[in-house]
Amino acid sequence: MIKYNLECSCGENFESWFQNSNEYEKLLKKNLITCYVCGSSKTVKKSLMAPSIGTSKSSSAEKDSEQKKEFLKNVKSKIRELNDYVAKNAEYVGDNFVSEVRSIHYDKKKKRNIYGNATFEETKELQEEGIDVATIPWAPKENA
């Protein structure tokens, strides 16, 4: 297994594990590596990494690690709460999101809350048109 630091053009940095470097390249070419913030799969790339040197952990480092795990657990929980709220209060339109939101904005369809999929570029275009949209992180459900 190999861990890479990844960077998206939306400015988000994150880590991901891969079976090996060839597997990373294969997934990248198929646009299967996506940014968890904006959902884009075309603007994610490897960023600079420092080598990982094995050292003995001090209790302070272990405490920091536990605090980070707890923090991330809380963040995931809040993201799931947000996801649940959106799912209960809006209609999922999937990959039709861009056309649906334009139809609503230009009064071709009745106003309603919707959510779905859009690339970073599509979201930017919608915002440039004056359409109020936002990108939210979407966490997979546990045991799903």
Helices (H), the chain: 21-29, 59-89, 97-105, 120-128
- Tokens for 90, please give them: 């809006």
Alpha carbons 17 and 26: distance in angstroms, whole number:
14
Backbone angles phi, psi at 141, to 5 degrees: -70, 145
* Predicted confidence pLDDT, tens digits, the chain (144 residues): 888 889 888 888 888 888 888 898 898 888 888 887 888 877 888 886 666 666 555 667 777 788 888 888 888 889 999 999 999 999 999 999 999 999 999 999 999 999 999 999 999 999 999 999 999 998 877 654
Residue 52 pLDDT: 61
Helix (H, G, I), strand (E, B) or coil at 44: strand
Nearest to 136 by CA among 84, 79, 81: 79
Residue 59 pLDDT: 67
Residue with tokens 């071709």: 108
Residue 56 pLDDT: 57
Residue 51 pLDDT: 64
**With contact defined as beta carbons under 8 Å apart, do 58 and 34 qualify?**
no
Residue 126 pLDDT: 96
Residue with tokens 């594990």: 17
Residue with tokens 């861990």: 3
Positive/negative CA dihedral, 37, 39, 40, 45:
positive
Residue 57 pLDDT: 56
Alpha carbons 19 and 37: distance in angstroms, whole number:
23
Backbone angles phi, psi at 42, to 5 degrees: -100, -10
